[in-house]
Amino acid sequence: MERIDTVILGRDYSLACPAAEKDKLQSALRLVDKRMQVIKESGKISGNERIAVMAAIQIANELLSAKAPDGPLSTVAFGDFKRKLEDMNSLLDSALGVPGKPL
């Protein structure tokens, strides 16, 4: 594990991650800090906690709306695909009478 020290919206954070994930984590940290700075500079939201929540919502929405670049699923957003899989799993559980699942 490696330690990464960073500053997000003026606050210091220290994180541990596997060495192979260090570059990805640093990219994620830059994205979060940039998004939070933009929200703060808009002046519409105050308080670091509220800014962090709004940034998290925006990033999660982008993730769930993202689509695969090519291939048979290129027209389906990841969030829609995830919901469809969850619906199919529930239907299968129900049809198979899995304990704890409604019939």
CA pair distance 34, 73, nearest whole angstrom: 30
16 pLDDT above the threshold of 50: yes
Segment 48-69, tens digit of pLDDT: 999 999 999 999 998 888 777 7
Task: Indicate the DSSP class of residue 60.
Answer: H
Q: What is the pLDDT of residue 103?
A: 45
pTM over 0.85: no
Segment 69-93, tens digit of pLDDT: 777 777 777 778 788 888 888 888 8
Residue type for 23, please? D
CA pair distance 24, 29, nearest whole angstrom: 9
- The β-bridge relationship of strands 11-17 and 2-8 is antiparallel
**Strand, coil or helix: 76:** coil
101 pLDDT above the threshold of 60: no
Beta bridge partners of 14: 5
